[in-house]
Structure 1
Amino acid sequence: MLRFLDAGESHGKALVAILEGVPSNIKINVDNINYELSRRQKGYGRGNRMKIEKDRVEIWSGLRGGFTTGNPITLVIFNKDYDNWQNTILDEPEDTEKIGIARPGHGDFVGFMKYKTGDIRNTIERTSARETAIRTAVGAICKEVLQFLHIDIRSRVKSIGHIIDKEVDIFDDTIYRVIEESELRVFDKEVESKAKKEIDKLTLEGDTIGGRVKVEVKGLPIGIGSYSHYDRKLDGILAQGIMSIQGIKALEFGNIIDSSMIGSSFHDEMYLNNDRVYRNTNNSGGIDAGISNGNNIAITAYMKPIPTVRKNLKTINLITKQNTTTRYERSDVCAVVPVSIVIENIVAFEILKEVLKVYPCDEFNTLLKYIEEDRK
């Protein structure tokens, strides 16, 4: 079974993960993992933290000669900012100034109330989206394995706030190259210009902005997932993975939100051609009854505005028990671009995990053989 456990704090010494269940005999290029990490650090509207960090992964176990051995893979990303924060992180809590002002929309309040450590700093260190760096590294390994299985995952930014990009085919390499070169990962240059101006305006105003991300999976065989039990449904599994990302508040599979809600116009009609089933639409997002149906898996994720704003929102000091206004801690203005990369890699982990449940193999060439036979 594919699984991982990660650990580490935002300003701690390192982020660490142990990934178990990757089949043996797969060539892993660490440069590809670092490429995914670099994609996550980009994007118009990012804060100063990304000027400090230059994320690079170290693999401490599970590879020999660049090939997976079937043993657990240990991944480590060192935090460069730890050098600036180690006194705060290592000092006894009573030796540092405790944080009591909770930012509305952040995990500050609930973490303080649940764990009762008396200092929001402990919550900040783990709720931070910095944790997604190590999850991206885990997903990057899974993404590489999926590519060997001819399963491709791509994403784009669908909107920044209410500024919406045009619909395009992200599996058209020419189109996707334009998206990858865009600072906002959009296709339309006019949309990019408008969105940049909006981000600049909100930066000056001390505010933040969210948006939507579209992710698609191409090449997934029919039959991944199951309707037999609630916790085996593919859409439920993918939803849990994506919703676990900081800031994601809603998901759409396929094209339900803006549809007519009329059955005869919504459902994807099927046609048989040379013993293969085709559909001209993908309103269900490639999943029926919790099982992949052969179409692209298509998901739109909605990210809320980042809760750390410089504007004076009303809040509470949980230590002094007084009404006050929010505090500011270094943050992004817009993180829709990096979250699109995080989503790609988290989806890669979840997809590979489900593929290995249908095709349980400890060795890669056997896995590839089984999948290719089913595709015939």
Structure 2
Amino acid sequence: MLRFLDAGESHGPGLCAVLEGLPANFSISREKIDEELARRQKGYGRGERMKLEKDQVEIISGLSEGKTTGAPVTILIRNRDHDNWKNKDPKDTFVSVPRPGHADLTGEFKYGTGNLRNSIERSSARETAIRTAVGAICRQILEELGIRIRSKVQTLYGINDSFCDLFDDGLYEKIEKSPMRVLRNEEAFMSLVDSAKRQGDSLGGWVYASVEGVMRGLGSFMHYDRRLDASLAGAVMSIQGVKEVSIGNPFLNFTGYTYHDGILYEDGALIRASNHAGGIEGGISNGENIDVYCYMKPIPSILLKLPSVDLKEKKNTDSRYERSDVTAVVPLTIVLENVLAFELLKEVLETFSRDNKEELTAAIRIREKRLGVLNE
């Protein structure tokens, strides 16, 4: 079983993870992991911390001559901002006023440490850096298996961007170059971010990711917790700030007749007339692109004052502000890609369960050969 455990705090020495269950003999490039970390740090509306951090991964174990060995892979990302925090007086980092919308107060309900700083440090979206690194390892293996993942920003506070085929290389090149990761409405999106920044406010929106090349038959309807859409949705909902997830386009209205994807036999192959189901039916992948949409709420840490309470003094007060982004929908697209990469590789290994590249690819070929009979 593929699994990982990550650790670290927002302003601690660093973030680390142990990724266990990778098959042996797959080539892994540290530079490609760093490229994903750099993509995550880009985007219009990011805060000041991105000017401080330059995330790079250190691989401590699990690779030999650039290839997986079957052993756990240990990775580390150091926090540069830690140098600015390590000598601070504890009185200067103590927090007793929770920010509405963050985990400050609920963390105190749960753990009761008496200092909200402890909740802030671990619940921070800084943790998405190490999850991105884990996913970046997994997506390199997926790419060797013919599976690609791409994404874009779809909406921002009511402004919509065009829908498009993310695997049209010409269109996707424009998205990759856009500071808002949109296809056509870049200036309108950036103007909206500028306006929110002037007002001391924040913005949320929808992002979209599509996965091409997923083999048929991943997941299961035999038990509720083995459904592919359930595992993907749960993983995406675990990303900080995400409040809604949809498999397939959530913005269109259908009847049963117009929604369901007709099955056709053409040129010796089974094909689908559409992909409104987002590539999953009955909890199992059907061979179409897997399309995942998710909504990120506006970032709760804003300059505008919200009502809160000083827990130490036991009196009403204004909420506090902590350095933050105006919007994080752009980095969310990158985090989403890499979270999906981990979950999909986990499903591949659950289905085919092999310990090295050669046996894994052979098992996949056997499945595809069997399914190919349906096309004859």
Query: Does the CA-based 8 Å contact 1:3-1:19 persist in structure 2?
Result: yes
Query: Does the CA-based 8 Å contact 1:98-1:118 persist in structure 2?
Result: no
Query: Does the CA-based 8 Å contact 1:25-1:364 persist in structure 2?
Result: yes
Determine the structure 1 residue equivalent to 2:248.
254
**Residues 126 and 268 (structure 1), Cα distance of their counterparts in 2 relative to 1, 3 Å cut:** same
Q: Which moved more, 1:345-354 or 1:362-371?
A: 362-371
Determine the structure 1 residue equivalent to 2:372.
none
Determine the structure 2 residue equivalent to 1:317.
310
- In the alignment, the residues of structure 2 paired with residue 96 and residue 216 of structure 1 have an alpha-carbon distance, to the nearest angstrom, of 44
Determine the structure 2 residue equivalent to 1:235.
229
Q: Deviations over 1:103-133 (max 9, x none)?
A: 1111111011211111110001011100000
Determine the structure 1 residue equivalent to 2:211.
217
- How far 1:374 moved relative to its partner? 2.7
What is the RMSD computed on CA atoms of the aligned residues?
1.1
1:335 maps to 2:328: yes
Query: Does the CA-based 8 Å contact 1:77-1:134 persist in structure 2?
Result: yes
Q: Secondary structure at the match of 1:81?
A: helix
- In the alignment, the residues of structure 2 paired with residue 14 and residue 98 of structure 1 have an alpha-carbon distance, to the nearest angstrom, of 20
- How far 1:167 moved relative to its partner? 1.0
Query: Does the CA-based 8 Å contact 2:14-2:79 persist in structure 1?
Result: yes
- In the alignment, the residues of structure 1 paired with residue 186 and residue 199 of structure 2 have an alpha-carbon distance, to the nearest angstrom, of 20
1:200 maps to 2:194: yes
Determine the structure 2 residue equivalent to 1:174.
170
Q: Deviations over 1:317-359 (max 9, x none)?
A: 1221211111111000010000110010000000000000111
1:362 maps to 2:358: no
Long gaps (5+) in structure 2: 370-376
Query: Does the CA-based 8 Å contact 2:262-2:274 persist in structure 1?
Result: yes
Q: Size of the alignment, in residue pairs?
A: 369
Determine the structure 2 residue equivalent to 1:130.
126
After TM superposition, list the pairs within 5 Å mapping 1:70-219 onto structure 2.
70-88=70-88, 96=92, 98-188=94-184, 191-219=185-213
Q: Secondary structure at the match of 1:249?
A: strand
Normalising by structure 2, report the TM-score: 0.96
Long gaps (5+) in structure 1: none
Determine the structure 2 residue equivalent to 1:350.
343
- In the alignment, the residues of structure 2 paired with residue 4 and residue 125 of structure 1 have an alpha-carbon distance, to the nearest angstrom, of 20
Query: Does the CA-based 8 Å contact 1:6-1:16 persist in structure 2?
Result: yes
- How far 1:44 moved relative to its partner? 0.1
Query: Does the CA-based 8 Å contact 2:233-2:246 persist in structure 1?
Result: no
Q: Which moved more, 1:362-371 or 1:140-149?
A: 362-371
Determine the structure 2 residue equivalent to 1:59.
59
Q: Match of 2:95, as an amino acid? A: I
Q: Secondary structure at the match of 1:350?
A: helix
After TM superposition, list the pairs within 5 Å mapping 1:30-69 onto structure 2.
30-69=30-69
Q: Deviations over 1:210-247 (max 9, x none)?
A: 11110111111110000000000000000111000000
- In the alignment, the residues of structure 1 paired with residue 280 and residue 174 of structure 2 have an alpha-carbon distance, to the nearest angstrom, of 29
